[in-house]
Chain A
Amino acid sequence: MRFDALAAVLLIPACASVLLALLPGYRITARLNVLATFAAFMSAISLFAVRPQPGSYLLVDNLNSTFIVLTTFVGFTTSVFSASYIGYELESGKLTSRSVRFYHAMYQVLMFAMNLALVANNIGVMWVAIELATLTTVMMVGIYRTHEALEAAWKYFILGSVGIALALFGTILVYMAARPVVGEGFDAMVWTTLVDRAGSFDPALLNVAFVFLLLGYGTKVGLAPLHAWLPDAHAEGPTPISAVLSGLLLNVALYALLRFKMLLAVNPAALAPGPLMVTLGLISLVFAAFMLYRRRDIKRMFAYSSIEHMGIITFAFGMGGPLANFAGLLHMTMHSLTKSAIFFAVGHVAQIKGTQRIADMGGLTETNPVLGWGLILGVIAIAGMPPLGIFMSEFLVVSSTFARSPALAIVLVFGLLVGVGGLFMRLNAVAFGEPRGPTAKSKASYVPLFSHLALVLMAGVYMPPALVAWFESVAKLLG
């Protein structure tokens, strides 16, 4: 039998989750978790070499293979981080060995659900996968069983399911629009068929469908004003989950939105989805940038920063065109890498200090220089300072916008500057000054943190031409 990379991407996490649910013992399961995510990453890379034909359930094209590789890579590095993080939580008694077993199984289910959402060629299957991913993260956010964790999980669950319900309604409407043209039954939900025939769909129905999909999946992307679940879920769950949420799950929801945007773009009579996305993106950016100033909890602050960046990415894709799409893709990749790196650092910092309150941290560069400078580097990167990767992508977003509509670009730049100010104000308190709180050395593994930062730095200094060509081809696909 030939090696089927597509099946491997789905089956490895699915089997691993069953195995991890059964196996006792933290040491074995943590290693198995790392091993499984690594295997999934390797098979995702092999998708570049061997491209399976699109079937009626699964599809691999340039767009989603980019997402899959990013997802499995960050999933892999996060599992390395998670091994040392969860080990500490186990020692300090915050988690029991039973809940760790549950956590590992759920981690793999989440990876499975995200991969399935990305490769699904059927809009119904895609919806199911995103719903599954939501449910698993709800359970993981509530894993500490504290008052705050339960509240965060409950809020996330309620808002997430309302979003997902609206998305299903939108999906049904898309089917209704497709039915007269494609015919009844299965084909009318296959994305490749839909995109071929979308030109003759009823535009009014498609428009309403897109509004529901935008609100539904937009809730999961964390766009303001639908973002209320996001800061709580990030702050109260285990830090590896914050990293995966910010770095990956938001992207997956955005991916779903992009697929439907491509559908609407085919139909000339349908409304242009761009302006809607641009508006929501800008609102999220400006709103989150101001919210950064009043944060007292460090994970909550970076959660708001995620809203800000998802706003920028949605804005870029909303602008459309080869250059803005390219910038959006690059920004999404850079944000995933940087934000998860920051959460890796923050996770260890919070464990050392025993708190997430910014006021109780201080002087990190003196007491834990490696971790402190890692965090500084991460924040410099996320703030968009040269020469790191996010500077490149933000520069591209801004310059492509200036060329087309200067008024929007001014709002964009304003939001970005406000955000930078908020981040640096807080960073100063955490990283420098008098050391505060416990100063124990961390036994952390720094490999995931610095490998992400190295990649971000590399992208800022020198992008390999092959990668640029690849991103260009995907940007063209997005229209």
Chain B
Amino acid sequence: MTLAPPPFDPELAAALAATGQSSIATGITLDQLAVERANLAETVPTVTELATDATLRVEERTVPGAEDGPELELLVVRPRGRTDPRPVVYHTHGGGLIMGNNRYGLDPVLDFVRELDLVVVSVGYRLAPEHPFPAGTEDAYAGLRWLASDPAAVGGDGRIVLTGGSAGGSLAAALALLARDRGEVSVTGQLLMYPMLDDRNESVSARQMHGLGVWDRVSNETGWAAWLGGAAEVSPYAAPARATDLTGLPPAFLDAGSAETFRDEIVDYAQRLWAAGGDAELHVWPGAFHAFDFLAPQADLSQRARAARLHWLRRLLGD
């Protein structure tokens, strides 16, 4: 049965129309992956391009990876002109668990450097289907452990906020669970931007957005299948919505669009955080499609979504 989706916000609908496509990153299957990766790579800024923003100090670092894993490529972005230790935002990038690198989707996150003088550390992790779970998650965790062990190496003050958009939000939520369960790293907060949390892919919103908007149910199925690699049991560290225990997690910020595949799983995750006695802030932006603030940053809704994250970070960090 076809379910009517909520209407898109006028500005976001216009931005989407102006791309000349009726939808973005929908209907992706593994056989198109090489093309999709190449298309995405074209839009990712280089380190030199990122460094043209005079307010930022951009550097690349290689640090030891997970046991049996490769070394990790970290991108460190600091506010220029600030030398005192600052809180660090640890960023895991998006791309459906199958695409992207540590510079992908960074623009909304760089707001935290520009506006709040925070340090951003963005980690590259191994992607599916070449490397199914837990490879990428363990990479991201190894980077987090390195950061926690020596925050001063990047100008950090010891506080770490996990963040990521889409698949990166999934990894950020998973890292929060891992940090709690392994007890090696202390995390200050988790800022989950339209996170991809649930491999089951069966929600009303997933069905409503089939073939529509940005990142639909088909693309989602492809990403999850590659990430899980046919595992019989799905670990909560692979798909955080699978976690049955959400107690003892750091304060969370979650946002979603009302017109996106992930809407229902994000709302559900927030409700379960509250049910577990957790501290969580949830925003559902009306008529927003997935990754709207990244694709159309000038839209009114995008500005408000970005501002809401900054407000939450300010309160969380007491700045």
The reply to whether chain A is a binding partner of chain B is no
Which positions in B face A, CB cutoff 8 Å? none
